[in-house]
Amino acid sequence: MEAENQTGASQFLLLGLSEDPDLQPILFGLFLSMYMVTVLGNLLIILTISSDSRLHTPMYFFLSNLSWADICLTSTTVPKMLVNIQATSKDISYTECLAQVYFFLIFLGMDNFLLTIMAYDRYVAICHPLNYTVIMNPRLCVLLLLMSWIIMFWVSLIHVLLMKRLTFSTGTEIPHFFCELAQLLKVASSDTLVNNIFLYMVTALLGMFPVAGILFSYSQIVFSLMRMSSTVSKYKAFSTCGSHLCVVSLFYGTGFGVHLSSAVTHSFQRNMVASVMYTVVTPMLNPFIYSLRNKDVKGALGRLLSRVTSGL
């Protein structure tokens, strides 16, 4: 097949999760339901936090931003997949594909940074409770959020600019349900050494430092809890971390699962199933984890629903 430059390769073919026509209606219904639950659940978390003054704290400020990032992350991939299933089409334009790569990397990176910042917030709250309001002041919270956005904007932009150097064959098939950067590099017709070096370097840095930060924060939290004499105080302190620990385990567990499955097996089907976990399932479960395991959110959600029902 003749290779063309990036402007000549006007579109790619997304093979999707399955080529079986009998499975397409099932996949469409399943992913449409999951997408709606994700959007509505995370919007409800954002609305609950913004409407209750008792939740106007750094912890819930970052939680509302995490919910927004989850909505955007899922919206980057699932709607296009649903359109392709419904239209029995597999194509995605070159420009759409690059845009999908760009925004997917931004919002995935934001999830990564926000989970790290939330771990630091819990560390300060439990290990330095008297100085919590001084350390986690509004200025620092906004600065941490802004720095995260700026880093991911530039990292994602560099990835896309490096992608524009590559050439692709006409009708290039991507064995995935969205334009994942690693899969695009595998199907490129030109040399991807620079792209792969930058990808591995960024993955190592943006993976190693946040994970190290989370592990450090929770190690200090555990040491602090061990020094507490009161069982009630221990339970109360740890309960504030329970929801965050569940989300962290789900996010990094599925993320590492994707990379391990890619390294161990060359099965595209298994890689796609693993990708579904952190691109669709994790953002969908986050609102349930925080609403079911967090008494403050449950209380605020109950007050919000009671106001809504009383106003009807």
Q: In this predicted model, what pLDDT tens digit does every residue of 284-302 receive, in sequence order?
A: 988 888 776 677 777 777 7
Question: Is the model more confident about 171 or about 157?
Answer: 157
Average per-residue pLDDT in the chain? Answer: 85
- The answer to the question of residue 123 being in a domain is yes
Range of the domain at 297: 9-311
232: pLDDT strictly greater than 50: yes
CATH number at residue 290: 1.20.1070.10
- The answer to the question of residue 235 being in a domain is yes
- The answer to the question of residue 2 being in a domain is no
So what's the pLDDT on residue 96?
92
Structure tokens at 44: 């409800």
Q: What percent of the chain has pLDDT over 90?
A: 39
- The answer to the question of residue 141 being in a domain is yes
DSSP secondary structure letters along 38-95: HHHHHHHHHHHHHH-GGG-SHHHHHHHHHHHHHHHHHHHHHHHHHHHHHTT--EEEHH
- The answer to the question of residue 4 being in a domain is no
CA neighbours closer than 13 Å in the CB half-sphere of residue 152? 23
d(CA 279, CA 283): 7
Query: Cα–chain-centroid distance for residue 34?
Result: 15
111: pLDDT strictly greater than 70: yes
- The answer to the question of residue 1 being in a domain is no
Which has the minimum average pLDDT: 27-31, 107-111, 297-301?
297-301
Q: At what angle do helices 282-293 and 295-311 cross, to 10 degrees?
A: 90
So what's the pLDDT on residue 242?
77
Q: Tell me the residue type at 137.
A: N
Mean pLDDT of 11-16: 85
- The answer to the question of residue 37 being in a domain is yes
pLDDT in tens, 249-285: 888 877 766 666 555 555 566 667 777 877 888 899 8
Torsion sign across C-alpha atoms 275, 278, 283, 285: positive
Torsion sign across C-alpha atoms 39, 45, 51, 56: negative
What are the φ/ψ torsions at residue 67 (nearest 5 degrees)?
A: -65, -40
- The structural domain count of the chain equals 1
Predicted TM-score of the model (pTM): 0.89
- The answer to the question of residue 160 being in a domain is yes
So what's the pLDDT on residue 269?
65
